[in-house]
Structure 1
Amino acid sequence: MRARFDWIIADFILQEGATMSSPKPSNRSQSLPGEACHHAPSLKELVSMTLAEDIGSGDVTAALIPAKTMGEGIFVAKSEGRLSGLKTAREVFRQLAPRATFTAMMRDGDPFSPGDQLASVRASVRVLLTGERTALNFLQQLSGVATMTSRFIEALGSDSPIHVFDTRKTVPLLRALQKEAVLHGGGRNHRMGLFDMALIKNNHVDACGSVTAAVARLAEDGFFKRKPRLKLCVEARDNNEAREAAACGADIIMLDNMSASEIRRAVEVIENETRSSGNPPPEIEISGGITPTALRRMRNLPIQRVSAGALTHSAPAADISFRIRPL
């Protein structure tokens, strides 16, 4: 299939007659979070795979349009939201037709309203039709993540010292793009994978017998001798685990599925333990069933971090259309 896809791309390139004009570079970073994870596909590879999945042996309906018919496709918002995924949409049409012209009317991270034009593409109508769904799939999904994240930020309030973090609950192979979308929505990135932070969760604790035993095994494995030293996050289900985590010198203590009163009490326990042990005070993170509504009730808690899998695994796709007109 790979060879067949390469032939299809080459055929599009030969037929495409649009003039290429390089779009102005964005002021925002073009690098993806987690690029240190060399096992993840690059943006080019990811787009290539998704196009191959959709095109297969060839787009049988695009052939209805004469090869030389040129057109313009415009991405138009049909709902309110926050934009993310422009460079991925651009890459879709770049791979189909290197001479296509992609023009962004907005930037990733910008809010949009119904009727706003987000970007346009000039290429052959065949190219526009073939790339439409793949480009929209990326743009709608990633803008949905950015929009969901912005809702969480709004629930906390612009003056809140609490930061909203994502998790590893992402669509397979889309983690870097989804985490970038979280940044576009105003959130922050938790660990990228299993390699850039130690996060001792309930299953680790249960397997080792206690928080203290789990941290001890990390130490035996040389974790604390790593350079640079990775952060240690410990999930705590109750005050005893929270106390152990503080005594072990955790950088972050994640209070899981606790009520507001339970969180306040756990924070007191942690503060007492750090004063007693002399360890630096950890950041306090809450997780488990976090929603914008719940955040409005919790924004005055003595915490620094909130993590929510919903940012990436439950974000509705943004409503965006692609309107094509012949030139």
Structure 2
Amino acid sequence: MIPPLPDLLVEPLVRAALAEDLGSQGDITTRTVIPADLRYTAHLRAREAGVASGMQLAAMAFRLVDPGLALRIACPDGTGFEPGGLLMEIEGSAASILSAERVALNFAGRMCGIASLTADFVARTQGSATRITCTRKTTPGLRLVEKQAVLHGGGFNHRFSLSDAILIKDNHIAAAGGIRPVLQAVKARASHMIRCEIEVDSLGQLAEVLDEGGADVVLLDNMDTPTLREAVAMAAGRVVLEASGNMRLERIAEVAATGVDYISSGALTHSARTLDLGLDF
């Protein structure tokens, strides 16, 4: 079970989404046509199969609009569901439920989509020790909750920000004058508490990294499957290997079979389809 994020970190995201949706006048439709004392029970259900995520966010949207609403989460984050499955029950003021509905559905549908796509990727690694991980290719402002959705789908998180770890990309190598200079700089200047990953796009560059030392992880960028297999043999366990670039869902099984430690894919967050959920009275 993945523990929920602290409300202190999540609430500003939900509050901002509610403020955006309610605008300057609030929900004028509901205020006009729904009696203030009308009470209802609403059910948040799935219209397709998937993996739950964003229930914490959806529940917070309802509670911020009306703390008096009674909520029951029927399908906790990280749990699979089938079409028609009940995800959440909300009871109380009909006006409050209607005013929070769209924000709750937006968060839940988006996060369920990420968790479900991640679960598909993870399923392709069955029988291997390879882990699926996300990237920083996230929606601006929503990285924390989108990466949490990856965890709900059975994946792992890469760094959350530029300050988490050293990740030397091709442009860093080009600007610094090559692989050896950048790794020498890491060994001379980096804290012993910081891990270092370096990107390579050929076996020749991998050989340079292994010879120089100073990297904990090597990112094998846009390599075909036979080359990945050779890279695993060359490294022989001396560094952690991460395959990245062109990691389509249909390719994951063969990449995992090469023996790489991680497969990273930006698609988990930047290309996940919003899952079809509905709220009905």
TM-score by length of 2: 0.94
Residues 47-66 of structure 1 correspond to what in structure 2 (within 5 A)?
47-57=14-24, 58-63=26-31, 64-66=33-35
1:210 counterpart letter in structure 2: G
The partner residue of 1:243 within 207, 217, 224 is 207
Q: Equivalent residue for 1:98? A: 67
Q: Deviations for 1:156-211, whole angstroms, at most 9, x for unmatched residues?
A: 11x32110011001011111111111111000111111111111011111111211
The yes-or-no answer on 1:265 pairing with 2:233 is: no
The partner residue of 1:188 within 156, 166, 183 is 156
Gaps of 5+ in 2: none
Q: Equivalent residue for 1:46? A: 13
CA distance in structure 1 between the aligned counterparts of 2:201 and 2:2, rounded to whole angstroms: 39
Answer yes or no: is the 8 Å Cα contact 2:52–2:152 preserved in 1: yes
Answer yes or no: is the 8 Å Cα contact 2:2–2:152 preserved in 1: no
For residue 140 of structure 1, report the CA deviation from its aligned partner. Answer: 0.3
The yes-or-no answer on 1:176 pairing with 2:141 is: no
2:28 partner SS: coil
Residues 199-218 of structure 1 correspond to what in structure 2 (within 5 A)?
199-218=167-186
Choose 1 or 2 for highest CA Rg. 1
Residues 1-327 of structure 1 correspond to what in structure 2 (within 5 A)?
28-31=2-5, 42-57=9-24, 58-63=26-31, 64-157=33-126, 159-220=127-188, 222-223=189-190, 225-226=191-192, 229-246=193-210, 247-271=212-236, 281-324=238-281
Q: Equivalent residue for 1:13? A: none
For residue 29 of structure 1, report the CA deviation from its aligned partner. Answer: 1.0
Q: Deviations for 1:107-134, whole angstroms, at most 9, x for unmatched residues?
A: 1111111010100111211111111110
1:303 partner SS: coil
Q: Deviations for 1:17-61, whole angstroms, at most 9, x for unmatched residues?
A: xxxxxxxxxx641236xx9xxxxx821111111100110111111
CA distance in structure 2 between the aligned counterparts of 1:264 and 1:160, rounded to whole angstroms: 14
After superposition, the Cα gap between the structure-2 partners of 1:88 and 1:318, relative to the gap in structure 1 and judged at 3 Å, is same
For residue 264 of structure 1, report the CA deviation from its aligned partner. Answer: 2.0
CA distance in structure 2 between the aligned counterparts of 1:86 and 1:114, rounded to whole angstroms: 17
CA distance in structure 2 between the aligned counterparts of 1:185 and 1:178, rounded to whole angstroms: 11
Gaps of 5+ in 1: 1-26, 36-40, 272-279
What do you get for the CA RMSD once the two structures are aligned?
1.6
CA distance in structure 1 between the aligned counterparts of 2:153 and 2:220, rounded to whole angstroms: 24
2:209 counterpart letter in structure 1: A
Answer yes or no: is the 8 Å Cα contact 2:118–2:268 preserved in 1: yes
CA distance in structure 2 between the aligned counterparts of 1:268 and 1:155, rounded to whole angstroms: 22
Q: Equivalent residue for 1:10? A: none
Q: Deviations for 1:267-323, whole angstroms, at most 9, x for unmatched residues?
A: 33334xxxxxxxx71111100011221012223102111101011110001111011
1:309 counterpart letter in structure 2: G
After superposition, the Cα gap between the structure-2 partners of 1:28 and 1:205, relative to the gap in structure 1 and judged at 3 Å, is closer
TM-score by length of 1: 0.81
Answer yes or no: is the 8 Å Cα contact 2:2–2:151 preserved in 1: no
For residue 106 of structure 1, report the CA deviation from its aligned partner. Answer: 1.3
CA distance in structure 1 between the aligned counterparts of 2:112 and 2:130, rounded to whole angstroms: 23
For residue 219 of structure 1, report the CA deviation from its aligned partner. Answer: 3.6
Q: How many matched pairs?
A: 278
1:114 counterpart letter in structure 2: P
1:196 counterpart letter in structure 2: D
1:186 partner SS: coil
